């Protein structure tokens, strides 16, 4: 994924050629990673305990994680990246202005 302040674009995995269409449901490695991560969420949520009201169910794990854990972090990271990009843009502009001024002054 490429991120800048104007647009977000998604890139297909590198193992997919330009001629074929990527289908995530046939990506065995991605599916295995999904299963492993959902199992991790299941354990972290305490659903191994028979006393847990959602014991034996994976329902809502992904949504809860996205809203309660990943969402706030990713949101903060997004704005940190925008701020960093703006600072870099300002720094480059100032350096170019200094170079231009030095050039005009014969330095």
Reduced to 3 states (helix: H, G, I; strand: E, B; else coil), residue 56 is: coil
pLDDT range class, residue 106, cuts 50, 70, 90: confident
In degrees and rounded to multiples of 5, residue 3 shows phi and psi of -125, 130
What pLDDT, in 10s, does the model give residues 42-54? 999 999 999 999 9
Higher pLDDT, 7 or 91: 91
| Predicted pLDDT of residue 21 | 78
What pLDDT, in 10s, does the model give residues 96-105? 999 999 988 8
Residues of the domain holding 79: 2-104
- The total of structural domains in the chain comes to 1
| Lookup: tokens for 12 | 């297909």
Question: According to DSSP H, which parts of 1-107 are helical?
Answer: 28-44, 61-65, 71-104
Contact 42, 61 (CB under 8 A): yes
pLDDT range class, residue 19, cuts 50, 70, 90: low
Residue 6 has pLDDT above 60, yes or no: no
Contact 32, 41 (CB under 8 A): no
Mean pLDDT for the stretch of residues 6-13: 51
d(CA 57, CA 46): 11
């Amino acid at each position: 994924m490429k991120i800048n302040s104007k647009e977000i674009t998604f890139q297909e995995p590198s193992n997919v050629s330009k001629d074929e269409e990527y289908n995530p449901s046939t990506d065995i490695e991605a599916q295995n990673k999904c299963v492993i991560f959902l199992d991790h969420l299941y354990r972290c949520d305490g659903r191994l305990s028979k006393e847990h009201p959602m014991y034996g169910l994976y329902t809502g794990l992904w949504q809860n994680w996205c809203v309660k854990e990943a969402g706030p972090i990713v949101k903060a990271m997004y704005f940190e990246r925008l701020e960093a990009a703006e600072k870099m843009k300002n720094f480059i502009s100032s350096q170019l202005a200094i170079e231009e001024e030095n050039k005009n002054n014969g330095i």
